[in-house]
Amino acid sequence: MRLSRLMSVATAGYAVFAAVRPEHLGDAVGAHDAARPAWGALARTYAGRDLAVSAAGVCGPAPVVSAAMGMRIAMDLTDCAALLLATEDAAVRRKIAGVTIGWATLNTLALLADRRRD
């Protein structure tokens, strides 16, 4: 489960970043001043959620790592759907889709490679 654990470490890195700089999400989507606190709260929510799932993906036995990766992939795809509903700006929507679907794809490829190898 080496690649899955590596992806979990990377996700934990993002979670720490999101906890330390929650304003990054509002910056990334070009949020208006009035909406920035909500985007910051969402980033802090992502931080807590991603740290918990990443801890399972890094420290758990293989079945737990697989479950954590499945959760991570599902969360990336649901994040995509929810965040796409949060804006009508086409450039921001492309960025959201690229990041969330891209991360889901990387996690999927890591999990599949690990399953093939194990």
Question: What pLDDT, on the 0 to 100 scale, is given for residue 67?
Answer: 97
Q: Which amino acid, 64?
A: V
Q: What pLDDT score was predicted for residue 86?
A: 87
Query: CB–CB of 73/107 below 8 Å?
Result: yes
Q: 82 phi and psi, to 5 degrees?
A: -65, -45
Nearest to 12 by CA among 69, 50, 60, 66: 50
User: Which pLDDT tens digit goes with each residue over 32-72?
Assistant: 999 999 999 999 999 999 999 999 999 999 999 999 999 99
Per-residue model confidence (pLDDT) at position 109: 98
Q: Read off the pLDDT band of 118 (50, 70, 90).
A: confident
Give CA–CA dist 81/101, Å, rounded: 10
